[in-house]
Amino acid sequence: MKPSPFTLHIPDPDIVDLRERLARTRFPDQAAGTEWAYGTDVSYLRELTEYWRDEFDWRAEEAALNGFPQFYVALDGIDLHYLHVPGVGPDPMPLLLLHGWPGSVFEFLDIIPRLTDPARFGGDARDAFTVVAPSLPGYGLSFQPGQRRFDVPEMADCFIALMHDVLGFAKFGAQGGDWGAAVASRLGFAYADQMIGIHINFMPAAGRDPSAFPDPSEDEKRYLVERAKWVREETGYQWIQGTRPQTLAFGLTDSPAGLAAWMVEKFRAWSDCGGEVERAIKRDRMLADIAFYWFTGAIGSSFWPYYARLHGSEEILPAGGKISVPTGYAEFPHEIFRPPQAAAARVFTDLRRWSVMPKGGHFAALEQPELLAEEVRAFFRGLR
Residue 318 has pLDDT above 80, yes or no: yes
Residue 368 has pLDDT above 90, yes or no: yes
CB 125 within 8 A of CB 90: yes
CB 8 within 8 A of CB 141: yes
* Per-domain residue ranges of the chain: 4-381
* Neighbouring residues of 263: CB distance < 8 A, sequence distance ≥ 6: 102, 289, 290, 293
Greatest Cα pair distance, the chain, in angstroms, is: 61
What gap in Å lies between CA 279 and CA 272, rounded to an integer?
Answer: 8
Residue 217 pLDDT grade (very low, low, confident, very high; cuts 50, 70, 90):
confident
Amino acid at residue number 43: S
Average pLDDT (313-325) is 89
Pick from 160, 158, 151: nearest CA to 192: 160
Average pLDDT, the chain: 96
Alpha helices, DSSP H, located in the chain: 12-23, 42-54, 58-66, 112-116, 152-160, 179-190, 218-233, 236-243, 245-254, 256-270, 283-296, 299-302, 304-310, 341-345, 364-367, 369-381
pLDDT in tens, 296-311: 999 999 999 999 999 9
Residue 272 has pLDDT above 90, yes or no: yes
Least confident of 90-94, 174-178, 212-216, 240-244: 212-216
What gap in Å lies between CA 294 and CA 257, rounded to an integer?
Answer: 10
Output the pLDDT for position 210.
73
Residue 312 has pLDDT above 90, yes or no: no
Using a 10 angstrom Cβ sphere, with 0-12 exposed, 13-18 middle and 19 or more buried, the burial of residue 311 is: exposed
Specify the pTM: 0.96
Residue 129 has pLDDT above 80, yes or no: yes
Helix (H) or strand (E) segment spanning residue 70 = strand 70-75
CB 265 within 8 A of CB 39: yes
Residues assigned a catalytic role: 178, 306, 362
Q: Is the dihedral of CA 103, 105, 107, 108 positive or negative?
A: positive
Residue 204 has pLDDT above 90, yes or no: no
- Provide the 3-class DSSP secondary structure of residue 173: strand
Phi-psi region of 55 (alpha: psi -120 to 50; beta: other; left: phi over 0): alpha
% of the chain at pLDDT higher than 90: 89
Nearest 5°: the CA angle 171, 327, 311 is 90
Pick from 93, 92, 94, 69: nearest CA to 82: 69
Helix (H) or strand (E) segment spanning residue 198 = strand 195-200
CATH of 4-381, one of 3.40.50.1820, 3.30.200.20, 3.20.20.70, 3.60.130.10: 3.40.50.1820
β-pairing, 93-98 vs 78-85, is unpaired
Tell me which DSSP letter residue 90 carries. S
What gap in Å lies between CA 22 and CA 107, rounded to an integer?
Answer: 24
